[in-house]
Amino acid sequence: MKEKKISIVGITLITAFIIWTILIQIVDVQAIGVNGTDVGFATINCWFHKLTGENMAIYYITDWMGLIPILSCMIFGVVGFIQLIKRKSLLKVDLDIMFLGIYYIVVILAYLFFEMIPINYRPILIEGAMEVSYPSSTTLLVLSVMPTVSFQNHRRIKNITIRNVIYIFIVLFSLFMVIGRTVSGVHWLTDIIGSILFSIGLYLIYKSIVMRFDKNVN
């Protein structure tokens, strides 16, 4: 029943994300963005942006540190590829790794979708150009990938000390990235909230699927 509850929470968060995305386009929409672009929840977004200001140093630091979750994805890709070579069959690759690959593809497709259909543009120009900002792609990447690293860490690392060190790093890294992206001034507050809802919801659905298959196998 635990996996069912996790699945329900995940679906609820994805539903909340969809509703949030719709609300952004109809609630308190004002032309406060770059070049007069419309922004939903304009009052709170404008207030928060003035509160944090622009912190380009934090922006560039979090931008470069965004390579860490990408590297994590590549590591799991290598793990799956090694299993495929050794076991000589895709069907013999660990199911959680196969599901993880599918999950990462879904994350990439979601990213590409919102790049093609802009909801919001960044509050500032980046190198003189307007960029799509909803949902925050860096926050999306971090909160979609790092929980899976924690999940796999718990499943595969037997040494408790190493497992705890990795877990602490994941938590601190994720907090730094989300907070850093929030206060850097390159996103509206609603961009960050949208990413949190979508990423955690998607991860929980992935986790519930793996747990369900584990239960069936055992």
First to last CA, the chain: 15
For position 85, what pLDDT does the model report?
87
At 163, is the secondary structure helix, strand, or coil? helix
Distance CA 164, CA 178 (A): 21
For position 8, what pLDDT does the model report?
93
Of 105, 106, 77, which Cα lies nearest the Cα of 93?
Answer: 77
Q: Is the pLDDT of residue 214 over 80?
A: no
Global confidence as pTM:
0.89
At 30, is the secondary structure helix, strand, or coil? strand
Average confidence (pLDDT) over 38-46: 90
Q: What is the pLDDT of residues 151-208, one digit of tens each?
A: 988 888 888 899 999 999 999 999 999 999 999 989 999 999 999 999 999 999 999 9
Confidence of residue 218 (pLDDT cuts 50, 70, 90): low
Q: Is the pLDDT of residue 215 over 90?
A: no
Q: What is the pLDDT of residues 47-100, one digit of tens each?
A: 999 998 888 899 999 999 999 999 998 988 898 888 888 887 777 888 888 889
Average confidence (pLDDT) over 21-42: 89
The domain tally of the chain equals 1
Q: What is the pLDDT of residues 102-152, one digit of tens each?
A: 999 999 898 888 888 888 888 887 877 788 888 998 999 999 999 999 998
Of 20, 29, 5, which Cα lies nearest the Cα of 135?
Answer: 20
Domain assignment of residue 47, given as a range: 2-217
At 94, is the secondary structure helix, strand, or coil? coil
pLDDT top residue among 20 and 93: 20
